[in-house]
Structure 1
Amino acid sequence: MENKYVAFISDEHLLRCVANLHTAYLKAKSNVSKKNFYNNKVDSIKLTFDAKFNSIDEESLIQAEVLRQIDKSFNNSIGTFHEQILGGIEGFEVGNLSGFDIKAKDNSLFADIKNKHNTMNSSSAESLFQKLARYADSYKQAKCYWVQILAKGSFNERWTGEINGKEYGHSRVYKISGDQFYALLSGQEDALYQLYKVLPLAIEDYLSSIENNQEVIENSALDEIKAETVLSERSILDQITAENYGYYLGFDKL
């Protein structure tokens, strides 16, 4: 029976990957309490510039910052989505915290997947190259890949060059764009395009198949902060600053 969505993985696997991503999205939306919002320290000075330069009221500003945090969390899940999709191609599997993201079941390929080409600093790039080189040395027939799902070009080439002042190169360590990696594993040149084209339909099919009666408490951070301003009589931004930097010199005056 012909697949409904793409030719290189089963319909059931694709819908399972969509379901996992939807769960991650709901979790991200429901997880922004005031405590979570403050976890990484809010940059009150930047928010002041954002409010004034963009003529945004404080409430809209904080809501936008909350949505930015949700988006950042969700972006991490997109990389996992690609890993799960690729792990469903016959002959390959997901690493599951084993030090690699995708491998061939016969150990002829190992890959580390990054959703964007610019997500690593030089130290991370050096560490990744060394890890891939170790796999290549341990498995003499293996090709090892740094995969960039969203790359600045379409390529499949040896990864060579200078990182942190050292020359790096290995005969079986490569860097590859997302389209070429999907093509490599699936044997179909347009595999990533196939996925892109069917995603709206697959998502609609998945959403129509689930019960939408579960309530998700979303973005409670702003409501919690506003409740505090009623008691403190501070502005929203002053309240955030007081709760994040009240121990700084002079900030006890807020």
Structure 2
Amino acid sequence: MKNKYLNYISDEHLLKCISGLHQSYIKAKNSISSGRFYANKVDTIKLTFDSNFNEIDQDDLVDTEILRQIDKSINNSIGTFHEQILGGINGYEVGKLSGFDIKAVDNSLFADIKNKHNTMNSSAAESLYQKLAKYADTYKKAKCYWVQVLAKGSFNKNWSGNINGREYNHTRVFMISGDQFYNMLSGEDDALIQLYKALPFAIKDYLSTIEKQDKVIEHSALSEIKSRADKSQRSILDQITFENFTYYLGVDKL
């Protein structure tokens, strides 16, 4: 029976991957309470400039900042989504906290998947290179890849050069763009674009099969802060500053 969505993984597997990502969205939206929102300290001086220079209402501004935090959490889940999709291709499997993200069942390939090309600093890049080189040394026929799903080009090339002041050059360590990696594992030239084109239909089908029972408390942080601001008669930004920096000199005058 021909697949409905993609040529290289089953419909069941694709819908399972979509379901997993959906749960990540629900969890991320439910998790942003005011305490979580304050975890990394909110720059209310910057938000003051944003509000005035960009003519944005304080409520909308804080809501946008909360959505940014949710988006940061979701970006990590998108990487996991790609791992799960690729792990459903015949002959490959997901690492499951084994030190790699994807491997060939016959140990001929190991890969670490990053959703974007610029998500690592030099220390992280060096650590990744050393990890991939170790797999290449352990498995003499293995090719090892740093996969950039969203890359600044389409490529599959040896990864070598100066990282953190040290020269690295291993004949079986590579960097590869998302389109090339999807092509390599699936045998389909347009595998990644196939996925992109199929997602709207698959997501719609998935959503039509689930009950609306997962209650999403849409980032409760704003309602919590507004409630306390109303009681204290402070503006939203003053309330955030007061709660974020209770220990700063002068904050008690807000």
Q: Percent identity?
A: 71
Q: How far apart in 1 are the matches of 2:163 and 2:45?
A: 35
Q: Deviations over 1:61-118 (max 9, x none)?
A: 1011111111111111110000000000011100111110001111111000000000
Q: Which residue of 2 aligns with 1:81?
A: 81
Q: Which residue of 2 aligns with 1:44?
A: 44
2:65 corresponds to 1:65: yes
Which whole-Å CA distance do the structure 1 matches of 2:36 and 2:225 have between them? 12
Residue in 2 that maps onto 1:110 = 110
- Secondary structure of 1:227's match? helix
Q: Distance in 1 between matches of 2:17 and 2:198?
A: 13
Which position in structure 1 is the counterpart of 2:171?
171
TM-score, structure 2 length as denominator? Answer: 0.98
State the distance in 1 between where 2:91 and 2:212 align. Answer: 36
Deviation by residue 1:115-144 (Cα, 9 ceiling, x = unmatched): 000001111111110111111111111100
Q: Give, in angstroms, the shift of residue 251 of structure 1.
A: 2.3
Q: Distance in 2 between matches of 1:170 and 1:252?
A: 59
Stretches of 4+ aligned residues off by more than 4 angstroms: none
Q: Which amino acid is 1:87 matched to?
A: G
Mind listing any 5+ residue stretches in structure 1 that lack a counterpart? Answer: none
CA distance in 2, matches of 1:36, 1:129: 34
Post-superposition shift, 1:3? 0.7
Q: Secondary structure at the match of 2:146?
A: strand
SS at match of 2:170: coil
Secondary structure of the 1:141 match is: coil
CA contact (8 A) 2:156 2:176 kept: yes
Q: CA deviation at 1:252?
A: 2.7
The whole-number CA distance in structure 2 between the counterparts of 1:100 and 1:234 is: 50
Distance 1:90 1:214 in 2: 33
Size of the alignment, in residue pairs? 254
Superposition pairs for residues 125-136 of structure 1, below 5 Å? 125-136=125-136
Aligned with 1:161: secondary structure? Answer: strand
Q: Distance in 1 between matches of 2:70 and 2:147?
A: 25
For residues 90 and 208 of structure 1, the distance between their equivalents in structure 2, rounded to whole angstroms, comes to 28
Residue 220 of structure 1 aligns to which amino acid in structure 2?
Answer: S
Corresponding residue for 1:100?
100
Q: TM-score, normalised by structure 1?
A: 0.98
Provide the C-alpha distance between the structure 1 equivalents of 2:138 and 2:250, rounded to a whole number of angstroms.
Answer: 58
1:235, CA displacement in angstroms? 1.0
1:26 is displaced (CA, Å) by: 1.1
1:134 and 1:219 mapped to 2: Cα distance? 43
TM superposition shift of 1:32 = 1.0
**DSSP 3-state at the match of 1:29:** helix
Further displaced range: 69-78 or 168-177: 69-78
- Structure 1 SS opposite 2:171: coil
Output the CA distance in 2 between the equivalents of 1:57 and 1:9.
Answer: 46
Is the Cα contact below 8 Å between 2:26 and 2:214 reproduced in 1? no
Secondary structure at 1:170's aligned position in 2?
A: strand
Rounded to whole Å, the distance in 1 between the matches of 2:134 and 2:53 is 50
Q: 1:196-254 deviations in whole A, cap 9, x for unaligned?
A: 11111100110111112443211110110011112221111011011111212332322
**Whole-angstrom distance in 2 between the partners of 1:213 and 1:73:** 22
